[in-house]
Amino acid sequence: MKTWKLVSGILSIVLFLIVTYQSCAAGLVNTLEENGESGGSAGIIVAIMMLAGGIVSIATRKGSKGGNIALVVLFGIAAILGFALAGSYADLNIWAGWCTINAVVAVIFLITGKKKESE
């Protein structure tokens, strides 16, 4: 569990830079084309949630119930926003998928942590 949280936290922080860059470019394209989409803005929000999730993941890697709940909330909101507002910014679906994976793994750690405490 500690290894996954450390690796996913570091990857989320690194991916934050990539998602931010792509989202700025997508937002610029949306503005220039005047197509009314908000994929670039949603990408910035997803990137910030990924950064926050990565920091929380690293900080709580030793295993805390509250940390796992925070990860589920942060990555869950990022995934929902990413899938819902991607529009023509198709890469946002990939980043939302990464957030979904992190949220699901945090739920698994949350459930298995409860079972270990009760034994």
Q: Where are the domains of the chain?
A: 2-118
Which SS3 state, helix, strand or coil, does residue 56 take?
helix
Task: Give CA–CA dist 82/70, Å, rounded.
Answer: 18
* pLDDT band, residue 69 (cuts 50/70/90): very high
pTM for the full model? Answer: 0.88
**The pLDDT of residue 119 is above 50:** no
Q: Which helix (H) or strand (E) holds 105?
A: helix 91-118
Greater confidence (31 vs 51) lies with: 51
Sign of CA dihedral 85, 87, 89, 93: positive
**The pLDDT of residue 75 is above 50:** yes
Among residues of the chain, what percentage have pLDDT more than 70? 95
Task: Give CA–CA dist 20/32, Å, rounded.
Answer: 18
